[in-house]
Structure 1
């Protein structure tokens, strides 16, 4: 095949998708007759094969020309300076356009750009933790633009010189993007570089500058972000990428005043974080005073050098804040037992529900745990507690384990790097055996013995299965609430292993077996082992409206009462049922009347009115017999009742 023939084949394949270009090629291409002319014999230039892409030094020029649409999109991307998407592009061309754009374009110029390919690239490159991007990528139909704008705005604030926050375009950026921003994470906010020299000095550099000389750009500028729900501020360094200076972790009282001016405008704020910043009591008092007016769900003050005189401020805040607060994170500070005591008072009187408390890496010691335990005792607070690295010692660790025993709402406990020892490990196993609600206990590097560690893992697996069954109960009870009051559907009920254990332990420990040949003593003494299979049998009985046949069959035998042992009237008939069939009605309970109604009242549907007397679980069937037809009618009534008994 000649070079011309090869060119024709290649260009035909390459231009197939471009109809206009293909038609032009068909009209003006070199024909077979023209190729035979002498003038074409030495032809070396083929205009159809010209490539418009630049070739760098040392690069090779491709023989394949690009699609015309690709060339157009490349020129559009190179010439784009801001604004909305160019009109007239297809979906694929829009994706190509977004992938070709420069992600470093100023945020003020690209706010109106709706191109998900571009914004996804921005999020992937600008996010500080790759795992955050991967989590977003798993969300079906995620809208990337707001996340990309949040990252670009945060970058603009961090890179803008503090002295130009209000004088430059930063305020215009916040006003323009306010409708998109829900979450803002600001880190490595560096203070103003220049310090005004004292009288008599021209210029100097201050080392270990005090807080009053470490002012930043005015955070009052955040007042424009009225849709903000999550705010994170880090005055210190995320990572040591620049020369370390102590002043990087300092901020002035003026900075806190400026932030206080912005917070009243952020009434939708739910999550507030300040980390790696040197906090003093006067700054914290000002901050908490403003936050108390906002319905926060989470407050984090981690690694903020909180120490003396801080506990009383935190306690007052918790006692006065709205009832929406659910989580507090104070990790990495210097709170001792005295500060924990003042702080715990606020928890004790808090009217809301404090779900999570993180006081890890604080030197609270054993006294701090005692005070905290006393504050949350008999309350519904603290479902999750983190006391990792709190310098507790073995006695303090033992107190934490005791907390699991008497504080039932506690379901998740983190106590890594806390020496439990032999006695603490044994106590941990004991309290976990009694508390079926505990979901997770993290005790790495706690000096647990291997057998204790293995036992703890086994108990937590048991609790996990129990929680799954409890969740099923909750779903069924919700379904029951949707059933009309005059209809009872037994399939909406469920029996948990815990309920089976409680019932089995109330059985009389008898060694006399029933029809299933299993004595009640076995159910009583092996309740924990039998709880799971028995609960499955009971629940399947509800779901399938069937009852195990062997549990329906009783043992009946006469018992002599007194008098003449030959007289049959001196004997009483006793029925012995299988112990597994006695989950029954709890006597004297509040739920007893409801349960008996569910189990027994639908018999009235089966039996004709006027021929029965029902009192609780006693039933009398009667009919005046005046003819043979009345006998047949009574027999039919009995047959219907027997059939109902078989079905139930």
Structure 2
């Protein structure tokens, strides 16, 4: 193994940097056919034999995994793990326990550089868990449907389960065109037989063109993806975020790649029904319907899910009954996101009835970009007036008239536990909203862009929201029940100027540092004085111990010398 490098001789280095050809010179046409480059100094540097052996073993670790001897040094161990390929299969490297190797693998696989930097600043980060999770996601996303073997993937899933706690699957591989070859050939043969017997020439041409374009008319039942029932083996999984979306298609775009069959959703439901530790389930950007929706919710009824999300999943108005049954069965749900669907009156009415009878304490409800009618929105807001748990409500993008807007105003006026309200692009009456907000002392944020408010009305809304935030930060205002002196002092300190408070903190830190430095100096002076006294004692005793006959003085000298040397060490 040879390397080309500049020699370490200073004279040669000076000559090299002075006379080496520039980049412009090398780019000249006369230099294109050069075979000898005199400016490149070639020196031979051969690595030690043990290092070469370790590099060879590391590069072949994928095909011939080995167990390193226990007597190997730390430098050799570092060399071995540094030369293992990052693209090694997960089943080949799962037994490696070197954190530096897993950190290097995570840095190579993760595309978010800011996230890598953030992870590096955290303490007690398990790089092995993060890296195995990335490799497992990569395996599921990039394995084609045709080569997917459920038994092998299930074994890999079981081995990875102790390290995987969160999955974010952004794409899945669908069936390729070659998988439908038999179906296409069968249709062509039937068309040819029919044309040869009864069809005219024009009908035969039309049937041939239809058979050539049969890939454009695949039914939903044939749009299969990889089997996701293997996710049930991830016993430690707490969060699952998945999307039935294809990888980047470019010119190979086809509408069928965005469809997925009922078999796919049944496999997913069978897998998540076994995830007893699952707390977050998110399905994003997938073409769902009422049957798929009910299949997923039935699987989630046996799990204590806290956050449920169906974000832009094209759900229609026939999903209300399944949603109602799920709300009655769950007791742990606190976050429900149904943004970007086609829920209308029927589903929203079921949602309102479900919230009345549900045992769960829902704190987040997102219904933005749904075609909700005025009557259903008014009924929902009336239900939320008596709901004592909701803190964040998002209704942006809903087209409603005065009836729906009045329901929102009434919800703000009732002084519910609501903290944040999103009503972007909903036409509101500014005077009614300000009058309702004037009575509400708890809500802290209202996002009302595009609501038809004037600049003065938006300014008044912001002033009232700042009032509410100030009351939350200073609970003593208007509260006559708190009388403890310590609490009152804490309140006084909190309303001081933050720059002044920071100055007081810095002053206390400086005082503590000065006190510690003073104590350290005193200890140092005491040690010096004790050492000086012992040196004087040693000097005085040595005067009386000039002869060898004085045995007692000799023993005393040795004892003092031993004591002095020990303290000095």
Match of 1:201 among 188, 192, 195: 188
**Contact (CA 8 Å) 1:269, 1:294: kept in 2 or not?**
yes
CA distance in 2, matches of 1:255, 1:412: 37
Partner deviation per Cα, 1:322-354 (whole Å, 9 max, x = no partner)? x11111111111111332111221111111201
Q: Give the aligned partner of residue 380 of structure 2.
A: 372
> Could you say which structure has the higher helix fraction?
2
Q: CA deviation at 1:289?
A: 1.1
**Contact (CA 8 Å) 2:150, 2:230: kept in 1 or not?**
no
Q: Give the aligned partner of residue 498 of structure 1.
A: 478
- Distance verdict in 2 for CA 1:456–1:129, change over 3 Å: farther
Q: CA deviation at 1:237?
A: 4.1
- Distance verdict in 2 for CA 1:370–1:79, change over 3 Å: same
Structure 1, unmatched stretches of 5+, are 1-5, 11-55, 471-495, 504-533, 545-648
Partner deviation per Cα, 1:35-92 (whole Å, 9 max, x = no partner)? xxxxxxxxxxxxxxxxxxxxx9979457696986987775564344356778566667
- Is 1:343 matched up with 2:384? no
Higher alpha-carbon deviation: 370-379 or 73-82: 73-82
RMSD value, Cα: 3.7
The secondary structure found in structure 2 opposite 1:197 is helix
After the TM superposition, which residues 446-461 of structure 1 pair with which residues of structure 2 at under 5 Å, given as runs? 446-461=451-466
After the TM superposition, which residues 298-317 of structure 1 pair with which residues of structure 2 at under 5 Å, given as runs? 298-317=307-326
**Contact (CA 8 Å) 1:84, 1:114: kept in 2 or not?**
no
Q: CA deviation at 1:392?
A: 3.0
After the TM superposition, which residues 247-326 of structure 1 pair with which residues of structure 2 at under 5 Å, given as runs? 247-321=256-330, 323-326=331-334
CA distance in 1, matches of 2:416, 2:98: 51
**Contact (CA 8 Å) 2:243, 2:283: kept in 1 or not?**
yes
The secondary structure found in structure 2 opposite 1:274 is strand
- Is 1:443 matched up with 2:448? yes
Q: CA deviation at 1:114?
A: 2.1
Match of 1:225 among 234, 238, 241: 234
The secondary structure found in structure 1 opposite 2:446 is strand
- Distance verdict in 2 for CA 1:293–1:115, change over 3 Å: same
CA distance in 2, matches of 1:85, 1:447: 71
CA distance in 2, matches of 1:456, 1:76: 69
Match of 1:355 among 351, 363, 370: 363
Q: CA deviation at 1:310?
A: 0.9
The secondary structure found in structure 2 opposite 1:357 is strand
After the TM superposition, which residues 381-392 of structure 1 pair with which residues of structure 2 at under 5 Å, given as runs? 381-392=389-400
- Distance verdict in 2 for CA 1:329–1:125, change over 3 Å: farther
Partner deviation per Cα, 1:256-304 (whole Å, 9 max, x = no partner)? 2222322332111111111221112122222211111111011111111
Q: Give the aligned partner of residue 488 of structure 2.
A: 539
CA distance in 2, matches of 1:535, 1:430: 35
- Is 1:236 matched up with 2:245? yes
**Contact (CA 8 Å) 1:366, 1:395: kept in 2 or not?**
yes
- Is 1:462 matched up with 2:463? no
Q: CA deviation at 1:449?
A: 2.2
CA distance in 1, matches of 2:477, 2:251: 58
CA distance in 1, matches of 2:403, 2:298: 37
- Distance verdict in 2 for CA 1:499–1:250, change over 3 Å: same
Higher alpha-carbon deviation: 215-224 or 89-98: 89-98
Partner deviation per Cα, 1:492-524 (whole Å, 9 max, x = no partner)? xxxx21326x99xxxxxxxxxxxxxxxxxxxxx
CA distance in 1, matches of 2:76, 2:375: 67
Partner deviation per Cα, 1:443-464 (whole Å, 9 max, x = no partner)? 2333432223233333333323
Q: Give the aligned partner of residue 180 of structure 1.
A: 163
Q: Give the aligned partner of residue 517 of structure 1.
A: none
Which has the higher Rg, Structure 1 or Structure 2? 1
**Contact (CA 8 Å) 1:208, 1:245: kept in 2 or not?**
no
Q: Give the aligned partner of residue 643 of structure 1.
A: none
- Is 1:161 matched up with 2:147? no
**Contact (CA 8 Å) 2:400, 2:426: kept in 1 or not?**
yes
- After TM superposition, the score normalised by the length of structure 2 is 0.67
Q: Give the aligned partner of residue 562 of structure 1.
A: none
**Contact (CA 8 Å) 2:415, 2:440: kept in 1 or not?**
no
- Is 1:109 matched up with 2:92? yes
Q: Give the aligned partner of residue 410 of structure 2.
A: 402
Partner deviation per Cα, 1:574-598 (whole Å, 9 max, x = no partner)? xxxxxxxxxxxxxxxxxxxxxxxxx
Q: CA deviation at 1:156?
A: 0.5
- Distance verdict in 2 for CA 1:136–1:259, change over 3 Å: same
- Distance verdict in 2 for CA 1:342–1:538, change over 3 Å: closer
Match of 2:59 among 72, 78, 81: 78
Number of aligned residues: 434
The secondary structure found in structure 1 opposite 2:125 is coil
CA distance in 1, matches of 2:490, 2:232: 61
- Is 1:246 matched up with 2:229? no
**Contact (CA 8 Å) 1:192, 1:216: kept in 2 or not?**
yes
**Contact (CA 8 Å) 1:165, 1:171: kept in 2 or not?**
no
Q: CA deviation at 1:366?
A: 2.8
Match of 2:423 among 415, 428, 435: 415
Q: CA deviation at 1:398?
A: 4.6
**Contact (CA 8 Å) 2:415, 2:439: kept in 1 or not?**
no
Higher alpha-carbon deviation: 331-340 or 124-133: 124-133
CA distance in 1, matches of 2:72, 2:469: 54
**Contact (CA 8 Å) 1:158, 1:187: kept in 2 or not?**
yes
- Distance verdict in 2 for CA 1:77–1:271, change over 3 Å: same
CA distance in 1, matches of 2:233, 2:320: 32
The secondary structure found in structure 2 opposite 1:295 is coil
Match of 1:191 among 149, 174, 177: 174
- Distance verdict in 2 for CA 1:327–1:541, change over 3 Å: closer
